[in-house]
Structure 1
Amino acid sequence: MRPICSAESIRSAEHGWFAAHPGGDLFRPAVTALTEVARSMLVGLPHGFVLVVSGPGNNGEDARRTGRALAAEGVEVRHWDDEAETFAPNSEHWSHLVLVIDGFTGIGGRGGLPDHVRALAVHCARRHVAVLSVDLPSGLVADSGAEHPSFRATTTVTFVAEKPCHVLQPAASRCGRVVVADIGVRVPERVAHAVEHSDLAEHWPVPGVRSDKYSRGVVGLDTGSDQYPGAGLLGCDGALFSGAGMIRHNGPQRVTDEVVRRHPSVTVGEGRVQAWVVGSGWPVSDGHDLAEAVARLGRRAADRVPMVVDAGAISSEVLGELGEGLPPGSLLTPHAGELAGLLGVARQTVESDPLAHAHEAARQTGATVLLKGATQVCVTPDGQALVAVAGPAWTAQAGSGDVLAGVCGTLLAAGLTPLWAGALAASLQALTAEDHPGPWPPDRLAQWFPETIARLTHR
């Protein structure tokens, strides 16, 4: 896992370092890291000049010192202060710009850029000029995933640990490759951790010689409806191809018939399970549908095993009817619109601060929450948070959430905590989509899950 820290905690850690090292210098290791990365970025670029864009803060000083280090090596370096008044994007002069070292703002900066700096940022993006950002692309806000007018970095060198803007979309897409430089400051308190490939290898439940279908986990799915039968099939795709020991499907007859026709290893009917997946494909468009959803959820909650609560079961009307609440260890899997409805806020409000709203939903419901979207965050009621591996935008299509719910059910049934079940399931889907680029439908991607799991666990 990679630690993700707030701007305030990073500043506090730096102050603590200076208190313990009177007269110490954090510029030197920072500039060393920046110069090394800048030097590597210049390899293969055409002949031209490097432009240092610096502001008044520490990031500006980092950028200026990096520029001086490159100049000492014979690189042609110019400074924004010298060129600001004459910036003309279409002039021949600017056609020789090959690299910008962006140190205009730092982790304390507000969103957006002044007009003249914004014009340069736009020029760099349009002309594909390489940009090396110090700490974060100027114009972004360190603790937010919101998009603002900013530089679009080729590489960002940040210090001590990543900040939320480096991992939360859409801001993360503007950070390019993120390099974390160790400057000797201890990593402070984290707001979250980012899941890495090695985490899937470490935590994924791999059967041993004594395993059987029951010990591997029996997952039950009460999913699908006459209106949305495909949700039942897709959830079983996710559960089966992620390694469930056994699957029981309990849903409308039409859905179970289709499930067994496609997956003959799936059993139908009541029986003991280690986890339930509910809500996928449940219509809640009128009072009758709502009453049926409440009844279905109540039947499955009565088993008091962990539940994956998806789609049609995620609403205050449905969840509010559970007298005892959700069983311990349950996982909610809403997208931003569903979470907004649950919390009674606008969808844009959730999207502007997904981590905070996922925390609020976990606090209110007492369940772990996997918030789906461009960035997928999984948080527990006690404040732990994981950010799943990012995947391509092709997975934003109908049915992906149904498949994901099935994978979450497999992992809950195998004994994983809801925090790790949600984060690993989302990461598996993202990694598989990354390995198979293009608009593959979610059921087809699910068939490649075993390949991804085998590769990661073998490593």
Structure 2
Amino acid sequence: MLGRSYGKLDRMRSAYSVETVRTAERQLMARLPEGALMQRAAAGLAAACADLLGRVYGSRVVLLVGSGDNGGDALYAGARLARRGAGVTAVLLAPERAHAGGLAALRRAGGRAVSAGGAEGAGGGAAGVEELIERADLVVDGIVGIGGKGGLRPDAVPLAAAAERSRAAVVAVDLPSGVDAGTGEVRGVAVRADLTVTFGAHKPGLLIDPAREYAGSVRLVDIGLELPVEPELEALQHADVARLLPVPRAESDKYRRGVVGIAAGSARYPGAAVLAVAGALRGGAGAVRYVGPAGDAVITRFPETLVSDQGPKHAGRVQAWVVGPGAGDDAATVGEVLAADVPVLVDADGLRLAEAGVVRARRAPTLMTPHAGEAAALLGVDRAEVEGGRLAAVRELAGRYGATVLLKGSTTLIADSGGGAVRVNPTGTAWLATAGSGDVLSGLAGSLLAAGLSTVDAGSVGAYVHGLAGRLAADGAPVGAHDVAEAVPEAWRNVLAE
């Protein structure tokens, strides 16, 4: 039995746009008694806060309350905690516009409310409010709702800073205030939460960096929303990946399982070829053909590889190609592979050498796997623009090149040129930010292409297994790309075991 398990046997996690969620909320509210939907949300929020506190009685809870429904959710949840013996104080950023029903409920339960400009019994003035927050056991962020844009307003910034300085656990209502719910962008100061309690559906910003980093752990509370089948984002879980992993049958041979060609490496970068082949050998295809100048290094490390020095056209039959890792300036090989009538994965130097018009003109599927710097070069923008707006960048690239694009990084996204839901990869570890890790991913995903998966599924499953292998290999310590490749079989078994 496996000693470690990552992920759950669960349905695919989906995220919906802000407008879709709002529409579903309006439709549900029209069928429910007034205030019932907010009470559902508040009950879930209070339960999550109680779980985090452990002992509610005697705990000090501070609510940061804005003028919207998130503030109302926080007030009603605070009332529930106050009835269980917590000392609850609501800090109102706009006292005249605070949710009246929630404020009345909090006061009836024994809680109190103060203006953000000063707190009774806490020294007075803004400094007193900050002291109140710093002494809390739990801070609930109900400042801004899902429509917030551009970071926190100036009057809320000191409150967020005090929450970050404190030892309190910070719980965000629906999403951290100051992040963009629809894109994951953070354009200004935002609340950093330990836990985000979101209602009805995940929002894209909870799954995409940089906003995801601010959300902490995410807990979804079902409030009964009826949502469309097609989400904005979707994240595969163990069960989804298990259904997609290629499994040989009794009649399978190495050719029926698929043959992947690897055109990679150069005299300067032979290791890229070795790592790409390492990923490919563990990716489900029946055989790996290698073409390029690093044949000696490849065959020494992996004698099962079919090595050729005659170029892609003379390598023999393949069901998919991987081109680009460590290729240097070998534009001829990149062009030859792109002319093949089979699925092609383009990575690293191949992205720099591939002509946009050639990629768009391909009839067979294409999967491009840039990191943020390569994506920025392809789009003609600064790297910071890609990292700050990953969802927009991956969609733009997919549309511009007519290809499936896997944008690597702290949040790996996979977008298809035909539109539809963007896949977001939930596995991985910061230890994967190491030289050669992307080469392993290219070989792994290319092997899945050869085994018959679509570009979207090959990219999604490859990223999932690769991220899981990174976690298993690292286990909290530095890891090399070759360690990640060697952990792929354990990750594969981990997925299938659940």
TM over 0.5: yes
Query: What's the CA shift for 1:19?
Result: 3.7
Q: Aligned to 1:88, what secondary structure does the other structure show? A: helix
Confirm or deny: 8 A CA contact 1:135 1:156 kept in the other structure.
yes
Confirm or deny: 8 A CA contact 1:231 1:280 kept in the other structure.
yes
Question: Which residue, 358, 374, 385 being the options, matches 2:394?
Answer: 358
Structure 1 distance, partners of 2:142, 2:359, is 55
Structure 2 distance, partners of 1:21, 1:42, is 31
Structure 1 distance, partners of 2:381, 2:214, is 27
Structure 2 distance, partners of 1:308, 1:379, is 14
Structure 1 distance, partners of 2:202, 2:130, is 37
Query: Who is 1:286 aligned against?
Result: none
Q: 1:260 to 1:359 in 2, by over 3 A?
A: same
Letter in 2 for 1:251: G
Confirm or deny: 8 A CA contact 2:359 2:402 kept in the other structure.
no
Confirm or deny: 8 A CA contact 1:59 1:106 kept in the other structure.
yes
Structure 1 distance, partners of 2:128, 2:279, is 50
CA deviation digits over 1:396-436, x for unaligned, max 9?
A: 12211111100111100010010011111111121122233
Query: Who is 2:63 aligned against?
Result: 52
Structure 2 distance, partners of 1:403, 1:242, is 10
Pair 1:274 & 2:319 matched: yes
CA deviation digits over 1:150-195, x for unaligned, max 9?
A: 2211111111211111111121011111111111111245211112
Q: 1:92 to 1:364 in 2, by over 3 A?
A: closer
Query: What's the CA shift for 1:6?
Result: 1.2
CA deviation digits over 1:185-228, x for unaligned, max 9?
A: 11245211112222221211122222221122110001001121
- How many residue pairs match? The answer is 448
Unpaired runs of 5+ in structure 1?
A: 284-288
Query: Who is 1:69 aligned against?
Result: 80
Pair 1:105 & 2:139 matched: no
Q: 1:76 to 1:417 in 2, by over 3 A?
A: same
Identity of aligned pairs, percent?
A: 41
CA deviation digits over 1:84-121, x for unaligned, max 9?
A: 22343798755541001111110011232244532232
Structure 1 distance, partners of 2:156, 2:360, is 56
Confirm or deny: 8 A CA contact 1:89 1:120 kept in the other structure.
no
CA deviation digits over 1:282-336, x for unaligned, max 9?
A: 22xxxxx3xx31x212322333110001111113x63246398334222001111
Deviates more, 1:446-455 or 1:181-190: 181-190
Structure 1 distance, partners of 2:307, 2:221, is 54
Structure 2 distance, partners of 1:91, 1:160, is 32
Letter in 2 for 1:417: S
Query: Who is 1:240 aligned against?
Result: 281
Query: Who is 2:403 aligned against?
Result: 367
CA RMSD of aligned residues (A): 2.1
Query: Who is 2:430 aligned against?
Result: 393
Query: Who is 1:178 aligned against?
Result: 218
Structure 2 distance, partners of 1:344, 1:111, is 24
Query: Who is 1:325 aligned against?
Result: 361
Q: How does 1:3-22 map to 2 (within 5 A)?
A: 3-21=14-32
Q: 1:308 to 1:72 in 2, by over 3 A?
A: same
Q: Under a length normalisation based on structure 1, what TM-score does the superposition of the two structures give?
A: 0.92
Q: 1:33 to 1:5 in 2, by over 3 A?
A: same
Question: Which residue, 35, 38, 48 being the options, matches 1:37?
Answer: 48
Query: Who is 2:470 aligned against?
Result: 433
Q: Aligned to 2:240, what secondary structure does the other structure show? A: helix
Q: Under a length normalisation based on structure 2, what TM-score does the superposition of the two structures give?
A: 0.85
Deviates more, 1:194-203 or 1:303-312: 194-203
Structure 2 distance, partners of 1:357, 1:135, is 25
Q: 1:48 to 1:87 in 2, by over 3 A?
A: farther
Q: 1:112 to 1:304 in 2, by over 3 A?
A: same
Structure 2 distance, partners of 1:324, 1:176, is 39
Query: Who is 2:207 aligned against?
Result: 167
Query: What's the CA shift for 1:17?
Result: 2.2
Letter in 1 for 2:322: V
CA deviation digits over 1:229-281, x for unaligned, max 9?
A: 111001011111233310000001xx011000000111112111110000111
Letter in 2 for 1:194: A
Query: What's the CA shift for 1:83?
Result: 5.6
